[in-house]
Amino acid sequence: MKAFLIGFLGVIIGIFVFLLFLYLVIRSIMNRCGFRGKSFRSLYQEIKASESREKTRHKQVSGMNSVLLPMILRDFKDFEEKEFYQKTEETIRTVLDGIEKRNDKKLASDAYLLIREKIALQITDLLESNCEKRYDDIIFHKHAIKSYKNVKGMIKLEVSSSLEYYYEEKRNGKIVVPSKYKKQTRYTTTFVYVYDTKKAGFDFQVLGITCPSCGGPLSDLKATSCPYCKSGIHLQVASLVKCWKVIDLKEDY
């Protein structure tokens, strides 16, 4: 019995020593991280406050405007940076509105010809999974030109945008993300400008241009009929030449 008590007491002392050691290690880490003299409660409060600040902190956008703008102005003497950013904002608002309403009617215009199919697939996924998304009170903070490439008769320009909105998500009628959630995020919008169809050649296929009748890929923007089903090509395809079109939009998490 005496041996048992001594052993039990030894276990208790061992646990106490371990907990004391763990406490000292945590305190040491807290001191190194700038939390010297703060209680665990104040630490918890500071973490929560940090999370709250993060919700209102604007996302940073990275760009190379000082380097890329002279290159753009060399190719487009009438290029207006502010107008292009307005075009970017209009694109993001239109796409998010289509996703929210689960309807791509507003994307039917020629301006969204190259991105409409991608958004239509997203809308189909939302309908099939019975998912709803809302984007309220969209506010843009900053834009920057992320990249600019001029190759094979085509120019590709990317714009990085920081913005915020109140986001809500429902699945099967149940709210999984409440509308009071203010989301700070960043999007990259990609535009393309085709100025020489001969140089571009079959690279048009990477743009995702397809025949409206059979869905076959089109490689020549000047074609008046589809090489597969022989149906006439709508003038929207021809209007892609020498005109900025949005080709992609993605959220940068």
Tokens of 145: 């030109």
* Inside any domain, residue 192: yes
* Inside any domain, residue 109: yes
Cβ atoms 176, 160 nearer than 8 A: no
Q: List residues bridging with 134 in a β-sheet.
A: 168
> Considering its fold, how many domains does the chain have in total?
1
Residue 187's identity, in one-letter code, is Y
The angle, 0 to 180 degrees and rounded to 10, between the axes of the packed helices 116-128 and 81-101 is: 30
* Inside any domain, residue 8: no
* Inside any domain, residue 54: no
Residue 96's identity, in one-letter code, is L
Sign, CA torsion 86/89/93/95: positive
Cβ atoms 171, 131 nearer than 8 A: yes
This prediction's pTM: 0.68
Q: Is 177 in a helix, a strand, or coil?
A: strand
Whole-number Å distance between alpha carbons of 60 and 185: 9
- As to burial, measured by CB atoms within 10 angstroms (0-12 exposed, 13-18 middle, 19+ buried), residue 203 is middle
* Phi (first) and psi of residue 220, to 5 degrees: -125, 110
Q: What is the pLDDT along the chain (253 residues), one digit of tens a residue?
A: 666 666 666 667 777 777 777 777 767 766 666 555 555 566 555 555 555 555 567 888 878 899 999 999 999 888 999 999 999 999 999 999 999 999 988 888 878 877 888 898 899 999 999 999 999 999 999 999 999 998 877 888 999 999 999 999 999 989 988 877 889 999 999 998 887 766 655 455 555 566 666 767 666 655 677 778 887 765 344 456 678 889 889 998 7
Whole-number Å distance between alpha carbons of 188 and 191: 10
* Inside any domain, residue 229: yes
CATH number at residue 235: 3.10.450
* Inside any domain, residue 79: yes
Q: Which domain holds residue 173?
A: 62-251
With tokens 């923007």, the residue in question is: 221
Specify the DSSP element, H or E, that contains 188: strand 174-194
Counts for the chain of helices (H) and strands (E), in that order: 7, 4
Cβ atoms 162, 175 nearer than 8 A: no
* Inside any domain, residue 211: yes
* Inside any domain, residue 81: yes
What does DSSP assign to residue 184?
Answer: E
